[in-house]
Amino acid sequence: MATDEAGNQREEVVSLEKQIEELSRLVPDDSTAQELERLQRRLEKLRREVFARLTPWQKVQIARHPQRPHFLDYVGLLFEDFSELHGDRRFEDDSALVAGMALYHGSPCLVLGTQKGRDTRQKLLRNFGMPKPEGYRKAMRLMKLAEKFSRPIFSIIDTSGAYPGIGAEERGQAEAIAFNLREMARLRVPLLVVITGEGGSGGALGIGIGNRVYMTEHSYYSVISPEGCAAILWKDQVKAEAAANALKFTAADLKGFNIVDEIIPEPPGGAHNNYKQAASHIDHQLYKGLNELKSLSSNELIAQRYNKFRAYGAFFEASSTFTVRDR
């Protein structure tokens, strides 16, 4: 019954969206404006109800929504005077990983992240948001530059993973990510990370060792994609939904495991419905986190980051007392 109700609500959401679109095309008058306002209120209420009950697999679909805001969308909404920097000084520039200096609330910083494309040309240019070794080396070169000038670092992540091609492996993909893990742990400036869509495996972790790690409400962060997990465990990608349920990779799951520090709410229906509101929620959390970290010394920042990641995966086994009875 609950499934049927959710299905009916989703159908009503689609119907309301069409009605709002049709009304928006009409010449505005008082009655049209009132009806639009009524429909929009109903739509927002329904979206909240539907999205409060999403399954992990449905959250994956939202995280991959083609209209979801990407890194450069957030840069334009959160930062000023962004100046992109290029190249790893070893091989070439990687367009999947974008980085540059900017101003955040008037103060200089480094912002970097993975950029997906929207149309076919952009997707090919950005390599579908999957960085190669030169991308991770570029990121580390610029993080070291930010450290030199005592600038905080913001990392915005939305990637299915690091690029697995032969060329990337030949140029040391695993070494580039591993090097970043070690060097990010040692950075002497505040480092804040936000996962805004997909957080895929080492591809995300390679720019994700932060003092604060946040996830937006409908993102996921996992050692493997649901399809990859299904292919390994069941030899069948059709089982991706079952894998998604088992992986425990949603923001709520990871907050419960102390993997992420905070969950950033999204607009009703997901970030793709309101870029400005989505960015505003992220801005609120980043500003709060940065102010908390400003009071820490360089050594304290390193120690806090180190202890945070050393605690990942810690668990306790409950001891049981067994009574052996005589036969």
Q: Tens digit of pLDDT for each residue in 86-99?
A: 999 999 999 999 99
Stretch 90-109: mean pLDDT, rounded? 96
b/e 28-46 (16+ beta carbons within 10 angstroms → b): eeeeeeeebeebeeebeeb
Mean pLDDT over all residues of the chain?
88
Q: How confident is the model at residue 1 (pLDDT cuts 50, 70, 90)?
A: very low
pLDDT value at 169 more than 60: yes
| pTM for this model (two decimals) | 0.84
pLDDT value at 14 more than 90: no
pLDDT value of residue 131:
95
Q: How confident is the model at residue 163 (pLDDT cuts 50, 70, 90)?
A: very high
Class of CATH domain 61-310: alpha beta
Give the residue with greater pLDDT, 55 vs 177. 177
pLDDT tens column, 39-60: 777 777 676 666 667 889 989 9
In percent, the amount of the chain with pLDDT more than 70 equals 83
Closest of 260, 246, 161 to residue 216, by C-alpha: 260
Angle between helices 133-148 and 173-186 (to 10 degrees): 20
pLDDT tens column, 63-80: 999 999 999 999 999 999
pLDDT value of residue 327:
45
Give the residue with greater pLDDT, 319 vs 242. 242
Stretch 271-287: mean pLDDT, rounded? 95
Q: How confident is the model at residue 27 (pLDDT cuts 50, 70, 90)?
A: low
Determine the Cα–Cα distance for residues 283 and 221; give it in Å rounded to an integer.
20
pLDDT value at 35 more than 80: no
pLDDT value at 326 more than 80: no
Give the residue with greater pLDDT, 89 vs 268. 89
pLDDT value of residue 218:
93
164, two tokens: 């697995």
pLDDT value of residue 198:
94
Q: How confident is the model at residue 24 (pLDDT cuts 50, 70, 90)?
A: low
Per residue, the 3-state secondary structure of the chain, as one string, reads CHHHHHHHHHHHHHHHHHHHHHHHCCCCCHHHHHHHHHHHHHHHHHHHHHHCCCCHHHHHHHHCCCCCCCHHHHHHHHCEEEEEECCCCCCCCCCCEEEEEEEECCEEEEEEEECCCCCHHHHHHCHHHCCCHHHHHHHHHHHHHHHHCCCCEEEEEEECCCCCCHHHHHCCHHHHHHHHHHHHHHCCCCEEEEEEEEEEHHHHHCCCCCCEEEEECCCEEECCCHHHHHHHHCCCHHHHHHHHHHHCCEHHHHHHCCCCCEEECCCCCCHHHCHHHHHHHHHHHHHHHHHHHHCCCHHHHHHHHHHHHHCCCCCCCCCCCCCCCCC
Stretch 150-161: mean pLDDT, rounded? 96
